Structure 1
Amino acid sequence: MRWIATLLTCCLPFPVLAHPHVFIDTGLEFVVDDAGNLTHVRVTWAYDEFYSLLVLEDMRLDQDGDGVLTEAEEKFLSGFDAQWVEGYNGDLVIRMGETVIPLSGPLEPQATTEDARIVTTHLRSVEGTPVPASDLSIKAFDESFYTAYEVTRPVTVSGPVICQIDRSDPDIDAELAQMQAFLRTLDADYDLEENDIPLVGEKFATEIRLSCPNT
């Protein structure tokens, strides 16, 4: 998270951009059918320790503080992050060319803890016509960058066909330089709440490319 800390430091004079962030380690499982179409995506979110502590305390879970939830507590926690408002994209964008692939809301939510961190999973189905997974671009990001996603957990494919997964990580130094240059153009009393706030989340997102043979 070194580069995220650097970003926060560069933004300290500007309160809106200096909000504390939620840090999430992300994993993705792509489910494809025998025709090479993408049918589902299972998403894993591993929350940072501080945010996990806040959630557990707020929900009065793990009262013994051992970082391990009982089966009943896991059941109670499951779905806490799956109550999405209408229009929320789940901080996941899948594109085929310029077309954004529509996904369902979260299905089969589950939650547990690992090393005092909350880890959740949910399944999303591809809606509409079948989508050939021949050249898809996938990014996990919050465009406001209030939540920072890093694809550090496994990215896999489940299904009867062999697929290729490639990843392209952002040029963090270049993006930070652009952000710092933008901030230097602003007056110290510039009110970001009343003006356009730069949406930088996608600039710091890892791109996953999925290619499966279409049969």
Structure 2
Amino acid sequence: MVLKRIAGHPANAYLSPMRWLVTIMSCCLPIPAIAHPHVFIDTGLEFVVDDTGQLTHVRVTWAYDELYSLFQLEEMKLDQDYDGVLTESEKKFLSGFDAEWIEGYNGDLVVFADGAPVPLSGPMEAQATTEDGRIVTTHLREVAGGGVPANAVTAKAFDETYYTAYEVTRPVTVSGPAICQISRIDPDIDGQLAQMQAFLRTLDADYDLEENDIPLVGESFATEIFVSCPNT
């Protein structure tokens, strides 16, 4: 379990489809123990492409929900004046708190190039700050082997267990000399929720989720990003 998964609950249930989804799931599903998000992260991605059209790095931004941020700052005894602004020393102390990953953890990010998985390094250049009381962190991940062609790249940010809900609401950009196109497919939340409800209706009321596999639904609610850069 990585450090960013300290228990928290959404601070707001307004506007965001992911956040009202939790209310629906909690109130309407036949078994209360079904997985639902405890932490909400607004996500941004920067794809770094070199002058040969190779994807060499991905920079990830995570902006944590207000309540999780409050819990984390209190636990680390930061922002003691409660103005939502960190000093430079506090930023340095906070940086990297969510970059201590267990072996095998994929950073809740999958990237493919021409349909093949792209191996990424662990987090580098971890930084942290606050925006309006919310913790915002960034880290850089290097593509193994020096890079892959960026002519057909796809990416999804998700936690398969759905403990953490990632929404790609922050900028998605490409940096480098190449001219690239970015597009996205957002999840069909209503459709996925209907499928989940239909599945749960097939279960007995006494179905024990602790003794059976909990459905891994996180990817179903993930936005898919498409990046296409010409070969040079």
- TM bracket (short chain): over 0.9
For residues 163 and 99 of structure 1, what CA distance do their matches in structure 2 show? 20
Deviations 1:54-82 (A, max 9, x none): 10011011111111111110000000000
Q: Secondary structure at the residue paired with 1:208?
A: strand
Partner of residue 31, structure 2 = 13
Identity of aligned residues (%): 72
Does residue 112 of structure 1 match 2:129?
Answer: yes
Amino acid of the structure 2 residue aligned with 1:65: Y
For residues 127 and 27 of structure 2, what CA distance do their matches in structure 1 show? 35
Deviation at 1:153, TM superposition (A): 0.2
Partner of residue 17, structure 2 = 2
- Residues 1:63 and 1:12: Cα distance change in structure 2 (over 3 Å): farther
For residues 148 and 8 of structure 1, what CA distance do their matches in structure 2 show? 15
Partner of residue 149, structure 1 = 166
Structure 1 stretches lacking a partner, 5+ long = none
Does residue 82 of structure 1 match 2:99?
Answer: yes
Kept after mapping to 2: 8 A contact 1:14/1:188 = no
TM-score normalised by structure 1 residue count: 0.95
Partner of residue 211, structure 2 = 194
Amino acid of the structure 2 residue aligned with 1:199: L
- Range with bigger deviation, 92-101 or 144-153: 92-101
For residues 41 and 7 of structure 1, what CA distance do their matches in structure 2 show? 33
Deviation at 1:196, TM superposition (A): 1.2
For residues 11 and 34 of structure 1, what CA distance do their matches in structure 2 show? 51
CA RMSD, 1 decimal:
1.4
For residues 10 and 137 of structure 1, what CA distance do their matches in structure 2 show? 34
Partner of residue 34, structure 1 = 51
Task: Say how many residue pairs are matched.
Answer: 214
Structure 2 stretches lacking a partner, 5+ long = 1-15
- Range with bigger deviation, 119-128 or 183-192: 183-192
Amino acid of the structure 1 residue aligned with 2:35: L
Q: Secondary structure at the residue paired with 1:80?
A: coil
Deviations 1:114-156 (A, max 9, x none): 0110000000000025300111110000000000000000000
Q: Secondary structure at the residue paired with 1:173?
A: helix
Amino acid of the structure 1 residue aligned with 2:63: A
Kept after mapping to 1: 8 A contact 2:35/2:161 = no
Equivalent of residue 73 in structure 1, options 81, 90, 103: 90
Deviation at 1:17, TM superposition (A): 2.0
Amino acid of the structure 2 residue aligned with 1:17: A
Q: Secondary structure at the residue paired with 1:177?
A: helix
For residues 31 and 49 of structure 2, what CA distance do their matches in structure 1 show? 47
Equivalent of residue 95 in structure 1, options 95, 108, 112: 112
Q: Secondary structure at the residue paired with 2:122?
A: coil
For residues 62 and 135 of structure 2, what CA distance do their matches in structure 1 show? 8
- Residues 1:60 and 1:193: Cα distance change in structure 2 (over 3 Å): same
Kept after mapping to 1: 8 A contact 2:30/2:205 = no
Q: Secondary structure at the residue paired with 1:44?
A: strand
Kept after mapping to 2: 8 A contact 1:8/1:17 = no
Equivalent of residue 197 in structure 2, options 180, 187, 197: 180
Deviation at 1:7, TM superposition (A): 3.2
Deviation at 1:16, TM superposition (A): 4.5
